[in-house]
Structure 1
Amino acid sequence: MELSAARCYLKRQLPLLVVVLIAAAHRGSLPLASFVASTPGAPSARGQTHGAPNVFNLYLCICYRSEAFGAMRTRGSTRQLAEVAYVPPSPRYHDQGRRIVTEEASRPAATDDAPRAEAMPLSPPLPAPPHDLDSPSHVLIVGDFADINGGQAKVALDSARMLADAGVQVTFFAACGPVSRRLEHKRISVICLDQPTILDDPNRLRAMRRGIWNGEAAKRLTAVIDGLDPTDTVIHCHGYAKGLSPAIGPVLANAPMPVLFTMHEYFLACPNGGFYDYRKQEICTRRPLGASCLATNCDARHMLHKGWRVTRQVATWGPGQLPGGLTDVAYISELQREVMTPHLGRKVRLHHVPNPVDAPELPPVDPRQNDIFLFVGRLSQEKGAAQFAEAARRAGVRAMFLGDGEQSETVRRLNPEAEILGWQPPEAVQEALGRARALVFPSLWYEGQPLVPIEALMRGVPVICGTWSAARECVEHGENGLVYRQPTVDALADALTRIDDVPTFDPLPLRQRLGPDAHRRRLLDLYGEMLARRRAA
């Protein structure tokens, strides 16, 4: 019995041991060549290979056979296991005049604005209106999703529309469909690999492998880049961690035209993308892939999932050449710049490009006539939903939640009087803002550049947030909101009771600073600067 127990223990710990050896090799403690080698892959015109490192296959096989992983698989939800990527049959695209279609059968879509766009109407490149000679005539936008399923994808799609409206030809490259109708524009062509999101593949082993190294995405992106004019094109990447994988890193690093990478989160440095310890429910300050990081299970799910994330991070820093292969990186908040600068290479040029916020043309709110303290977002621990529920109960204020998540029952238990309305369409969110005394943003992690607080401020609704969150950058304490200093229920409850200290304010300056027009100008100016630098080199 003792021998059997010992074998079971070793079997459970073996995946973590493999990850530690990989990380040690990456850090230089062991020869990396002893552990990492590329499987045969199709070389591109620039001699790149897109095969997955063999060590990743070894780790995934061990995980798949371990008892702990088996228990996770039998517990049910495919979401137990994380951002794991689907490996569909290779989609083959045919150009049929002005349409691109895939041979794969269409799947039902889960999208907010398009039931399915399996065949996106495309137009051939049109002559662009006159624009600055230093600005590109073509921009290749690269991202995980061709549909809006979060803030990152929304910014990528909105940027494509803004550039196309300004006369720039845009190619939009994405791993995961469906294709949003927002990309229907005479100057936007779409190349979507039609791979489901990382969470959707029923074959979890295959999905995990693609999440670490999506060779198909790398090969197809290389083919697209090879067909573009490097003297008049800029590539703008909006992320890789949920579909494209670190495999696109070498493609970006070796591209013959300027590349801009926008950080919407923290995956370039942190294995879980947020510098947040989900177990301790606090911001993490450990050195990524350091001894303390490897020894700590900070993941919201399971230690094996932390091991998978670490393996992906090794792939990112090693064969993925991220962030080492990048020269121009955009940050969306000053807090993000402070956190990420120590983890980026010395040659990286940093550019502040905040996300655009297109607030509807609605009259400003008079919050002093309202009594609702509004929360909009996912009901999860890192978003502080439960903390706000309890703080509102203690402060004796009316709490309303627009959103859903794993902590919905906890919120109900902590504050039975709270109104939990679930996810709502944009019009309903704006209607709720019109009835809000304040927008409460109690997120417990750094965030990138949260959009909901900005949307509230643009309506004249004050915002309550913590000093550790990027939301603080638009909140002037005592002027248009309140910033509390400790991530505790008591501190938040005290802020809720002091909302009358905030006067009414003019939202127009913020609208002008972060509106779509300002964002488009920033992008075109930055693209022109990058092109001019490349031409002068």
Structure 2
Amino acid sequence: MPKLLSVNNYHYRRGGSDVVYLEHAALMEKLGWSNAFFSMHHPKNFDSIWSSYFVDELEFGHAYSAWDKVKMASKVVYSFEAKKKISSLIHDFKPDVAHLHCIYHHLSPAIIPALKHAGVPVVMTAHDLKIACPAYKMLNDSGICEKCKDGSLLNVVKNKCLRGSTAASAIVTIETGLHNFLNTYKKHIDKVVVPSRFFMDKFVEWGWPADKFVYIPNYVDASQFDPDFYAGSYLLYFGRLAPEKGVATLMKAAKSANIPLKIVGTGPIEAELKILAAELNADIEFLGYRSGKELHDLIRGSRAVSLPSEWYENAPMSVLESFALGKPVIGARIGGIPEMVIDHETGWTFTSADSHELALLLSQIWAQSDESVSSLGRSARELVVRNFSRDAYVSAMQKLYAELGVK
């Protein structure tokens, strides 16, 4: 029985990368693999027999004393605790392969050499751009930023790239500088899985060797999604309410096009978006957090779903879920979105952050016949079944592990 060690900061469904971490392990278990997990203690974690190996909780939103802040910063840069505990887990579990997801800040890259020195093949899924960009988004308050590609890492501090904070930006700059010097990622990771070709190309632009990467797209199990191809009357956004998601641009466009918009989700700019909605006096409804059947019903009832991102999205699960439910997507032409949202086939694309272009596009879509919109929803569903299936994902992962000597 092959043994898989899955590694991630959180051991509960906090966000998309955490869901992939948990579901990937579940898929391997169904194929006969034995699973172990390495993560951080957290009150919301799922129960695990491996939790005794987890590192102490490190939550950046909490209040810390001055000394605790120093210790926290040191763990972000290099966690000796994480290195020691994962070494114990390796000794006891003896994994055949380790699959890393999001590990930085809470676990730190210190765990990677520990795995490699123990002879464990190391795979990492790049859910974001961290292995190139110290602040992991290639984004700051001024917009898209790639200054570190050919310049000094001090640009991160100068531009306060992480949370608009000089201190937080300085910590990740030191972290990245140290691990660049140690060559932690490139030397000790065998393969990096990228869910979008855009991310692969971007990493190569930033100096990574192309042969380090393998493109394996995310998946949805379409059999678990009951589609409705009827073209509804409203536009839907669901996701995090954060600046880089472009929700303000979407709201302005919906107002200009006189289109009813429903917004599902919460986040740091929720209050200011509600103020903007009042100022626009638009037909915009905030529905808060929704999941499961409630969310699926809202998607099925829409005419289209919009993803108006203003940063380098990877391969958003929201697109695949909308497609599986029979809805076309109106996506910003940025990051990996155009790889899934194919103009006039599975949806429509527009220039990111251009509310005027988006408003014109919305007007055109609402002027189309219901049959025309429904046909795109059917094509979207077919694309998911054909190119983003669970079986294709499993087959690609098994092939990757086999190439690393795991049978």
TM-score if structure 2 supplies the norm length?
A: 0.88
Larger Rg: 1
Deviations 1:458-483 (A, max 9, x none): 11101011111312211110111001
CA distance in 2, matches of 1:358, 1:176: 30
Aligned partner of 1:21 in structure 2 is none
Further displaced range: 163-172 or 482-491: 482-491
Match of 1:434 in 2: 300
CA apart distance, 1:260 = 0.9
What is the deviation of 1:304? Answer: 2.5
**Distance (Å, rounded) in 2 between the aligned partners of 1:258 and 1:305:** 32
Give the match for residue 291 of structure 2. Answer: 425
Residues 189 and 220 of structure 1, relative CA distance in 2, 3 Å threshold: closer
Q: Is contact 1:333-1:354 (8 Å) kept?
A: yes
Post-superposition shift, 1:289? 7.9
1:386 aligns with 2:251: no
Q: Distance in 1 between matches of 2:403 and 2:52?
A: 27
**Partners of 2:217 and 2:164 in 1: how far apart?**
31
**Post-superposition CA distance 1:177-226 (Å, at most 9, x none):** 35755x77xxx856551532432553233322222222111111122223
Corresponding letter in the other structure for 2:38: F
Q: Any idea what the Cα deviations from partners look like across 1:343-365, whole Å, max 9, x if unmatched?
A: 35438521112223235634322
1:322 aligns to what? Answer: 185
1:287 to 124, 148, 163: 148
Q: CA, structure 1 residues 242+428, in 2 after alignment: closer, same or farther (shift >3 Å)?
A: farther
Aligned to 1:202: 63
Q: Distance in 2 between matches of 1:268 and 1:489?
A: 32
Name the residue aligned to 1:245: 108
- The aligned residue for residue 527 of structure 1 is 401
Kindly indicate whether the alpha-carbon contact (under 8 Å) linking 1:250 and 1:320 is maintained by their aligned counterparts in 2: no
After TM superposition, list the pairs within 5 Å mapping 1:396-407 onto structure 2. 396-407=258-269
When residues 412 and 476 of structure 1 are mapped into structure 2, their CA distance, relative to the original with a 3 A threshold, is same
Check conservation: 1:175, 1:244, Cα contact below 8 A: yes
In structure 2, give the amino acid aligned to 1:328.
K
Distance across 2 between alignment mates of 1:324 and 1:152? 24
**1:157 maps onto 2:22 in alignment:** yes
The letter of the residue matching 2:145 is: C
- 2:236 matched residue in structure 1: 374
- Residue 374 of structure 2 is aligned to residue 508 of structure 1: no
Residue correspondence of structure 1 range 406-417 to structure 2 within 5 A: 406-416=268-278, 417=283
Deviations 1:472-528 (A, max 9, x none): 211110111001134211122122122236451241341343233322222112111
Matched, 1:494 2:360: yes
Secondary structure of the 1:318 match is helix
Q: Return the alpha-carbon distance in structure 2 between the equivalents of residues 421 and 351 of structure 1.
A: 38
Amino acid at match of 2:63: P
Native 8 Å contact 2:21 2:101 kept in 1 = yes
1:134-153 matches, cutoff 5 A = 137-153=2-18
User: Residue 55 of structure 2 contacts residue 107 of structure 2 at CA under 8 Å; is this kept in 1?
Assistant: no
Write out aligned runs for 1:78-227 (5 A): 128=1, 137-178=2-43, 180-181=45-46, 192-193=53-54, 195-203=56-64, 204-227=69-92
Q: Following the alignment from structure 1 to structure 2, what is the Cα–Cα distance between the partners of residues 191 and 367?
A: 50
- Is the contact between residue 478 and residue 502 of structure 1 (CA under 8 Å) also seen in structure 2? no
TM score, norm. by length of structure 1: 0.67
Bigger fraction of residues in helix = 2
Amino acid at match of 1:236: H
Distance 2:146 2:287 in 1: 35
How do residues 252-267 of structure 1 correspond to structure 2 at under 5 angstroms? 252-267=115-130
What corresponds to 2:325 in structure 1? 459
8 Å contact from structure 1 (residues 332, 353) kept in 2: yes
Give distance in 1, aligned partners of 2:346 and 2:183.
43
- Counterpart check, 1:395 vs 2:257: yes
Give percent identity, aligned residues only. 23
Q: CA offset at residue 172 of structure 1?
A: 1.3
Number of residue pairs matched by the alignment? 389
For 2:215 and 2:41, the matched residues in 1 are separated by 28
Q: Structure 1's 378 and 486: CA in aligned 2 closer, same or farther, altered over 3 A?
A: closer
Please tell me the residue identity of whatever aligns with 2:10: F
- What is the Cα deviation at residue 340 of structure 1? 1.0
In structure 1, what is the Cα distance between the partners aligned to 2:200 and 2:161?
A: 23
Q: Which runs of 5+ in 1 are unaligned?
A: 1-127, 129-136
Aligned to 1:439, the other structure's residue is in SS state strand
What is the distance in 1 between the residues matched to 2:192 and 2:88?
A: 23
- Structure 2 runs not aligned, ≥5 long: none
